[in-house]
A and B are shown apart, each in its own frame.
Chain A
């Protein structure tokens, strides 16, 4: 039977909607390609705590007018990818290891693949990947089969290599460097600013090399993976968590375990299995207990159970529904044979709500879970398998609303630290004044976040006015600055109170780390207004404004003092000279002592 709707593969979906990922035109796509590859490399190095050495190169394939074909290559010293996973990891959209809840630069591991996809559709050239791994280097050229979401390997070479590890990805794509260069350079510079522990080199189409040297060997402590916070949950996530608890394992995965633990053959009858299992019930593992119980209650042997797929087991009617090997759908009554019946039921119904909450969520202990369940009027012993759809929705909404949960754990975040932000700003801007602050961890809607802010003033910063550098999870945000929450906060602060005016040479850096940065658009370029984030930004900025104010008034004070010393020695001699001429005197008056008096006189007045 043919289906009325044809499914599309994830890569097909992204191919059709590449604008969503920022690959809108040759200018933007060139920038996005660099960005995705660099972020991939940095994430990979961070994960293994390697000090990153990143080499970015963009070379034109021909002379002539933009847009034209460019080769973008980004090479790192990261952990690389084991040879067998390379094609899959880079050639298949949505294949990645980034579905977990911890801070990372990219989100789904599909950025690099998007870049490959874009290169392929604009130039029809394969991507070249060189991965150094275990003192060998593997070179692949491959293309994507967009319709089937799979890589097509064109060639594969294996060589002995001196490089201990690292990945070099080379994509040929249509780009417009003349238009994109400003953003790309800005991106590289800002990435260096927020990654002071990396060496970053950019080799541009005109063979100019821009180098950013690392200024510290310390890598920020890595984020720790954590369970979700109840306030950050949605209906779909909750349903998945419940189903994960309830998932029945497939027999083929545990076939050997069952055979070994029960010392059974696969064609032995259900009754024999029951006997064997009863003998050592308490010593059997969970998987084995479950498979045995199913076989016994459905009266089938292990060979047969391998050929069916359980659809559902309804504890209220004692019925099991399953699909047979030949695609028939059967519903049968379960036999009430103990201890198998009770065991199966407990698995099907799952945990009690109380234990489910404690096991699956961060910052939820028994007493918190109990209080919450009282608040939401659920029986704490209710089995999660018996929750109806409506109940799941009600539970989700209550979790989002309930205000007594402890704030989320911020260990899953990896900020840069005020110390390094400050050092990095110092080294990049060479300002007269610089100070940075990391605000305490906070949370919005169950997602933890940390705000870091730096302010630099004067020195080699010559441009008047506030220049804002925005970062989220250690990536620079370059577009739509005006709509960003940071600008909103800057505008709302009463700078006059700190005697800071908008024509001063000032640089402000904001860095927001979160497991979920609230971007306003898919393009991930600016951050939405969240009152909690706004609060931290505002307080951090006020703190730094105060520091700058103190610095400026101290400086002014010193200037006043030297001006005071100067003013008397500058004007009194003139006064003496003019009065001598006016009075027609033969010598200058003896005014010299007055210069000393003057300084003292003013000091007394202070």
Chain B
């Protein structure tokens, strides 16, 4: 059933998503600092401690931080139901997640794996506190249509990815000696990026692309087939040993990601409003990266033996990871943040003017929260950072410059969001004073 519309009566307090959104860019800055400090060796191997620290700062610190904040916002809005626990749950998740990520990353960076015995309970608590109330909502029959359908799969994928990640962390810390599933690392990566990130981006895009970019809706049929194909492929890759079936699963997974990318780009091309919108370019960059990454994953899986040396194979793996994490997920999230933060700010301020309509006219326009120049520069910086990251991976040169560019890229986003949040707070204060008088 296609949802009837967004239910905005159940929106949580703006502080809930904003604390996650305002933290994430600075985790990205930390990732860039690691790149800068470890410039000599970071791209030497996919097992390099600096690279592992940087990857987790991006995947947990930036991507998951924003996605968790967005889930607190989008699930109630789509389903019309509040996530139990509200602000208390969000605050606990935010604190536990920040502490858990920092212990994990410091543990990786200084190879102080004993720190994982702190990181494991902290991250486990963060995700349990997040997932339990959410699961109590998602297992019920709620509204939200195609988006919630994909988000349910995304949450399951997150659960599996976290479980596998914690097993690996416990291994590092010497807390667990469990052979368990072979390829734990590949599955952890697959469920995290192919499952959690891709499925959640799919679910969210079914709403935000048609709404913010005024495009036709995704077809309901495809909106269900694609996440089902992604999730089923990941299940086959996890539990089936037959190499032919595994090969088919990789093919289906990559084709589903590519199809999603092509459909979304075609929808964006059919935008009904032809006014320039730089945030649509972030979607283009992200979706093109997804299509490229899906092709590279197929090359890795089916033609792994063709690489001339282990060194080149490592470069190829790292390059694919960069395109998927930085090119796809980070780009899409950067674009969405610059749309969602002004929208939420304006929406919350509107509602505070309910008793005094004259105040509505005094509110800053949505475009004032993030003026067009900010996303324009963000796009240039981000595109340059992506290209330079790829050059640095292949050549091993310009890594320091790349680190500096990444610092500017994430700091620019952090300052843009902080500026928007400040404008929201000062306006909310002014409106509250008017309402009191």
A binds B: no
- B-contacting residues of A (Cβ < 8 Å)? none
